[in-house]
Structure 1
Amino acid sequence: MKLHKPILVGGLGLSFSLWMLDTWHDSIVQVGEFGLLSALAVGGGFWLLQKNRPGEQLNDMVIDRASVERGISQTEVIINQLAQEAANHPGLESLREQFAKLPLELDRREIQVAVTGGKSVGKSTVIQILKNVETLSTTSLQYTETAPLFAGVGKNSDAVTLSELQKYDFVLFLTKGDLTDSEFQVLQQLKAAKQSTLLVFNKQDQYQVDERATVLQSLKQRMQGNVVATAASPLPVKVRKYETDGSVQEWMEQPAADIQQLTQQFGEVLAQQGKQLVYTTTMRKVLLLKAEAKDCLNRVRCDLSTPIIEQNQWIAAAAAFANPIPALDILATAAINAQMVMDLGNIYQQKIFLEQAQQVAETMGSLMLKLGLVELSTRAVTGILKTNAVTFVAGGMVEGVSAAYLTRVAGLSLVQYFEQQEIALETGNGLNLEKLHQVLQTVFQQSQKLAVLEAFVKQGVKRLLPEAKAVEVVG
């Protein structure tokens, strides 16, 4: 514990004496003991938030060569930062290998086409026919048939297939009738990923003329016109020939494939948007790699942040437990959080000065009061402590555990906020207090799970009242 830090020592000096700090020194620095609770708290809130946090989206992004090159440069910054902070990181080699391929992607001439859809919609047949279409031969095309949707598990699950589709420049989505809800949901996901897609109503010959027109109209309404109708392998038709002698000859004849709409619209897309398709696919790959690299870097930084948060939360607990006076508690906690802001900012390469750190700490304290977090956490801690009369009657126990809990929420919120920022360069990034407010509220909600709170209170009691463990065992 670095007691020479001016903010920390100044705040604590208003709360309790140096001998109390010396008494708590050994237990505070032993953060390894807190491993189980750390896993519960982080796993219950912070990592869940990170897992579900949306990454950068292509929807509102102008995608051209320059924007892709900027994305590549930003990704390189993150990978280099990871190498600087964790030179032996196990994922570093893979990240570098993937990164080396990105510039080559930009100059790729071949258009990669995925043909997907449910079972028995004619994917293989469509590919076979398109390969022999002369009007498409002027463009270098590579077709790939995906595993059938809505039928697989594991490696062939829909989620895996959808993830794979992001690597392709264009998707031909085949259906053999009006869209099912599952098909429509997949198409919406492809649209959200800004994946260029053409819906192909195949096997239209299996419908009566008026029926196929109805189905096609329905598909166009749902897909805003981006639909073509085909019959890649029409059903054989019976041909009857009447001879002059009155006899009749019958045989089955295979009609020619009807793919004119498909080849015409597909050809127009390739002619008008060929290069743009490559840029968009490359940008998707850039953003995926960037997110992967940033996740690796954030995990490294989280490992460094956790001991700092744990240390500060128990210092706050000790201060509030020794002197359960609300005014001093708030002042001491604000001082501790100000130091924590600077420490965590340093880990995440965010340039935060003393005045900024104090402002953030004060703002977070104010937000906690306005959002009712202080009252809610105190009420929850009190309810859990009441189940053990010995620990509940201990003076300052509620205040101590609550102060520790709120300090932890503040720390996890800062980590969550910093993770959402771009890697800071020389000038650093300014703090967005409105976004910090949103993150604070979200992290608190995630951390309010009963199992997490109970584990935290139990660990807090052991920290603040070591003899309580022995009492519980005897009882």
Structure 2
Amino acid sequence: MPVPSISTIKLIPSIAGKLALAGGTLAFGSWLLSDIVHLPGGGAGFLVLGAGAWWLTRPSKPASFSEPSSIPGWIRRCELVLAQFSELELSLGLEGLRSPREQELDGLKAQQAPLSVGVVISEGATHPSTPELQAALQGANPLDLCIAKPLPVVADAWSWPQELEPLDVILYGLPMPLRAADLLRLEQLPTDRPAWLLIQDSLQDSREARQEALSCQLPKPWCDRLLFWSGESADLRRGLSPVRRHFAQPARSREITKQRLLTSLHRRWQAELEQLRRARFRSLLQRSQWIVAGVVIASPVPSVDLLGVAVVNGLMVKEMAQIWGCSWSSEVLQVVARQLGTAALGQGVVEWSGQALLGMAKLDGGTWLAAGLLQGLSAAYLTRVVGVSMADWMALNAGVAQPDLEELKRQAPLLVAKAAERERLDLPGFADQAKEWLKTQTVASA
């Protein structure tokens, strides 16, 4: 594929033209303000007026999630998510969505556990004994020392055990030479978490050379968190001095841990909330797509027109706004749906889905009606793609008072392309649903 480039010959006239236009505008504006309007300092005044006009007409930036920077801020965020679970309880007719999560948040707010250090190694590695660690970490504040079970070096997933999540500090003992399993495990440990790498070496080795060698193998954020230990107790205490300094302010250490736990809780709740919303949306989408198919078949047109199913899609979009808690006006919702629908038609979703569904219909002789009702099936598939891309957009803008429609124009093709790709993988499932729907239509017509 050729590398895109910019022609220098075309660029120079463009820049010269813009500079000439800007200079002419500035000269004309200066003459106009000084000689005609008699405004003192015409050139400077013109520049000030131009800057003011640019400030008033500059494009607005889309609203984004503002991450809290304190414990009360994260608690308020979690309480907002709890309110959304309560709304889903009412809309879905479910029970037990809010109560257990509210108890979890209350327990986290009232947590007064002592400071803790977790020591973790992989199978085959060694760590200092418990008395040596207790003596090396001894300071002004009491600490709980937790020795975790060795982590397996052969595993399907490299995530860290959940039991280590509440601990304030983690010491990860790395063997020398480094193994691939330890590096894979290290990639799953967030760099913003208080953690150090404990490495045992001999006194004869040059630690500067060892640290330089490790810097070439470890991810960059961990190169400044290396703690060396020669095997002697006195050397271990010197090596663990950064950990003791971390606990010099116990209130600050507890605050860091509690804020990290609240952040993780909020992230997990948002994922669970989105999963519930997607389940509700799937049932809504399946109902709406076959209503659209019925409307198109009842009023056949030469091509699938988005306006022909605007009423059904409009009702679906309103219900989707209730699911995601979007307080947008009906006009905004219709603009978003129309923009995504136009992008889907522009990418040829209808033409591709029509050919694919016709090919799948020929696989089974009992579904010969699919060829005659292909137009309705294509309309249903178009509704499916537009609905999924709309759900992705609402998930990205949940909690935003007013979405940025200009940003939507830029993102609509990508949202539709991703939704079409996901639904393309689920096309056999859609074809099975189409067969069941066709059978019901055959029975109803008979």
Task: Give the structure-1-normalised TM-score.
Answer: 0.68
Shift of 1:378: 1.8
State the AA in 2 paired with 1:143: L
Distance in 1 between residues matched to 2:411 and 2:78, nearest whole Å: 23
The residue aligned with 1:191 is: 190
Using the TM superposition, give the Cα deviation of residue 259 of structure 1 relative to its aligned residue in structure 2, in angstroms: 0.9
Deviation at 1:418, TM superposition (A): 2.8
1:23 aligned residue: none
1:117-152 Cα deviation digits (max 9, x unpaired)? 213533361x4323224x742133222122211258
Decide whether the 8 Å contact of 1:220 with 1:226 is kept in 2. no
- In structure 2, the residue matched to 1:19 is none
Aligned-partner residue type, residue 340 of structure 1:
M
Task: Return the match for 1:149 from 143, 148, 151.
Answer: 151
Name 1:29's counterpart in structure 2: none
Alignment partners' CA distance in 2, 1:387 and 1:122: 61
Q: Provide the secondary structure at the position in 2 that maps to 1:143.
A: strand
Partner of 1:69, secondary structure, is: helix
Match of 1:122 in 2: 126
Aligned residue for 1:174, secondary structure, equals strand
Higher relative contact order (CA 8 A, sep 6+): 1
For 2:103 and 2:228, locate their aligned partners in 1 and report how far apart those are by CA, in whole Å.
42
Q: Which residue pairs with 1:305 in the alignment? A: 281
Question: Partners of 2:275 and 2:241 in 1: how far apart?
Answer: 49
Alignment partner, residue 41 of structure 1: none
> Residue 73 of structure 1 aligns to which amino acid in structure 2?
R
Pair 1:218-2:202 in alignment: no
**Is 1:369 aligned to residue 345 of structure 2?**
yes
Q: Does 1:268 align with 2:266?
A: no
Deviation per CA, 1:409-458, whole angstroms, max 9, x where unpaired?
2223333433344446xx56666625565443323211112432432332
- How far apart are the structure 2 equivalents of 1:406 and 1:335? 15
Letter in 2 for 1:147: K
Which AA in structure 2 matches 1:445? E
SS in 2 for 1:119: coil
> Is the 2:172–2:197 contact (alpha carbons within 8 Å) kept by the matching residues of 1?
yes
1:278 and 1:443, CA in 2 relative to 1: closer, same or farther beyond 3 A?
Answer: farther
Counterpart of 2:269 (choices 272, 293, 297) is 293
Rounded Cα–Cα distance in structure 1 between residues aligned with 2:302 and 2:127: 70
The runs of 5 or more residues in structure 2 that have no matched partner are 1-64
Pairing partner for 2:384 from 408, 420, 424: 408
Contact conserved, 1:114 with 1:146, CA < 8 A, in 2?
yes
- Asked if structure 2 preserves the Cα contact closer than 8 Å seen for 1:176 and 1:201, the reply is yes
CA contact (8 A) 1:167 1:285 kept: yes
Partner residue, 1:27: none
1:172 CA displacement: 0.8
Letter in 2 for 1:400: G
User: Corresponding residue for 1:179?
Assistant: 178
- The equivalences for 1:81-120 within 5 A come to 81-86=84-89, 89-105=95-111, 110-120=114-124
CA contact (8 A) 2:160 2:185 kept: no
What's the CA shift string for 1:11-47, capped at 9, x where partnerless?
xxxxxxxxxxxxxxxxxxxxxxxxxxxxxxxxxxxxx
The match for 2:330 is 354
How far did 1:350 drift? 0.8
- Segments of structure 1 that go 5 or more residues without pairing to the other structure are 1-59, 235-255, 471-475
Matched residues in 2 for 1:442 and 1:72: separation?
34
Closer/same/farther in 2, CA of residues 466 and 283 from structure 1, 3 Å limit: farther
SS of the equivalent of 1:225 reads coil
Provide the C-alpha distance between the structure 2 equivalents of 1:406 and 1:115, rounded to a whole number of angstroms.
54
**Secondary structure at the residue paired with 1:173?**
strand
| 1:73 CA displacement | 0.5
Q: Which residue of 2 aligns with 1:139?
A: 141
- 1:142-169 C-alpha deviation (Å, 9 max, x unpaired): 2212221125879xx75352x4433222
State, as a whole percentage, how many aligned pairs show the same letter: 21
Q: Cα RMSD over matched residues?
A: 3.4
- Distance, in Å, in 1 between the alignment partners of 2:365 and 2:440 is 17
Q: What SS does the aligned partner of 2:305 have? A: helix
Residue type of the partner of 2:213? S
Contact 1:324 1:396 in 2 (8 A): no
The match for 1:452 is 429
The offset of 1:201, in angstroms, is: 0.6
Deviation at 1:174, TM superposition (A): 0.5
For 1:195-344, list aligned pairs within 5 A.
195-202=193-200, 204-205=201-202, 209-210=204-205, 214-221=209-216, 222=218, 223-232=222-231, 258-271=235-248, 277-327=253-303, 329-344=305-320
Residue 440 of structure 1, aligned match among 416, 431, 439: 416
The separation in 2 between residues aligned to 1:71 and 1:297, in whole angstroms, is 17
Cα distance in 2 between the residues matched to 1:85 and 1:394:
37
- SS of residue matched to 2:193: coil
Distance 1:219 1:160, change over 3 A: closer
Quote the offset at 1:345 in angstroms.
0.6
| 2:135 counterpart SS class | coil
Q: Distance in 1 between matches of 2:152 and 2:434?
A: 46
**Counterpart amino acid of 2:264?**
L
Q: Secondary structure at the match of 1:114?
A: strand
CA distance in 1 between counterparts of 2:172 and 2:277 reads 42
Whether the aligned pair in 2 keeps the contact of 1:335 and 1:358 (CA below 8 Å) is no
* 3-state SS, counterpart of residue 96 of structure 2: coil
What is the rounded CA distance, in whole Å, between the counterparts of 1:268 and 1:114 in structure 2?
16
Name the SS of the counterpart of 1:132 in structure 2.
helix
- Separation (CA, whole Å) in 2 of partners of 1:439 and 1:284: 32
Structure 1 residues 419 and 179, CA gap change in structure 2 (3 angstroms): same
**Is the CA contact (8 Å cut-off) linking 2:125 and 2:174 kept in structure 1?**
yes
| Compared CA separation, residues 147 and 327, structure 1 to 2 (3 A) | same
Q: How far apart, in 2, do the equivalents of 1:147 and 1:305 lie?
A: 42
| Deviation for aligned residue 1:314 | 1.1
Helix, strand or coil at the partner of 1:191: coil
